[in-house]
């Protein structure tokens, strides 16, 4: 049963990255991932719990992939460039859009997204401190800058300009 749940989480994350979860009801979601609403409820209890589990799974996957992206870097500038390459890669744009959709939804209390933004910040800060060898303030600044640049990139598609802005940021770090 755990294998099936893990398989469903993978499919749900893929679906969510491509389509989002905000406006999706359980029936079409179940059909899209090759399941039934009843089985999704069996594995996750409710749509709200399903959304929370997809978020947890997405954060775990993203954290692992980002750790791999910076694993062989020898200094902070190289690590930040590797991180930016991964985050800004068009192959990851759907996952990044899903992240921002979830982050924005989490700003309204009492919904399935509640706490997502805060958890995300608190999961990223220690990793950035480790990469940077810096303080909380520095990690917070880098996190805010990366997210702002990503929003700009997703909104405009102007890769060259946003990449140049990222490079302009590096000397100040």
Q: Any idea where the domains of the chain sit in the sequence?
A: 51-172
Q: What is the mean pLDDT of each run of 10 residues along the chain (173 residues)?
A: 86 86 82 90 90 86 80 87 93 89 84 85 89 88 96 97 97 86
Residue 40: phi, psi to the nearest 5?
A: -65, -40
pLDDT at position 106:
87
- Give the CATH number of domain 51-172: 1.10.357
| CA pair distance 6, 25, nearest whole angstrom | 21
| CA pair distance 102, 55, nearest whole angstrom | 8
| CA pair distance 163, 24, nearest whole angstrom | 34
| CA pair distance 147, 149, nearest whole angstrom | 5
pTM of the model: 0.83
| CA pair distance 106, 99, nearest whole angstrom | 10
| CA pair distance 33, 17, nearest whole angstrom | 13
pLDDT at position 163:
98
| CA pair distance 83, 20, nearest whole angstrom | 24
| CA pair distance 33, 6, nearest whole angstrom | 12
pLDDT at position 141:
94
- Residue among 46, 66, 43, 78 at smallest CA distance from 123: 66
The tokens of 71 are what? 């694993």
The tokens of 160 are what? 């060259």
Query: Which residue's structure tokens are 């359980």?
Result: 26
pLDDT at position 150:
97
In our burial notation (b when 16+ CB lie closer than 10 A, e otherwise), range 31-69 reads: ebbebeeeebeebbeebeebbbbbbebbbeebeeebeeb
Q: Is 62 within 8 Å of 92 (Cβ atoms)? A: no
């Amino acid at each position: 049963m755990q294998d099936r749940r893990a398989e469903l989480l993978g499919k749900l994350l893929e679906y969510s990255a491509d389509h989002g979860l905000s406006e999706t009801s359980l029936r079409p979601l179940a059909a899209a991932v090759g399941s039934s609403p009843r089985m999704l409820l069996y594995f996750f209890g409710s749509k709200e719990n399903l959304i929370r589990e997809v978020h947890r799974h997405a954060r775990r996957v993203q954290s692992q992939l980002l750790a791999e992206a910076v694993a062989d870097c020898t200094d902070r500038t190289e690590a930040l460039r590797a991180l930016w390459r991964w985050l800004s890669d068009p192959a990851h744009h759907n996952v990044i859009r899903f992240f921002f959709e979830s982050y924005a939804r989490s700003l309204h209390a009492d919904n399935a997204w509640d706490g997502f933004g805060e958890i995300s910040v608190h999961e990223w800060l220690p990793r950035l401190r480790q990469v940077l060898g810096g303080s909380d303030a520095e990690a917070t600044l880098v996190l805010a800058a990366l997210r702002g640049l990503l929003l700009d990139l997703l909104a405009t598609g102007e890769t060259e300009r946003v990449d140049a802005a990222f490079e302009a940021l590096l000397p100040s770090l």
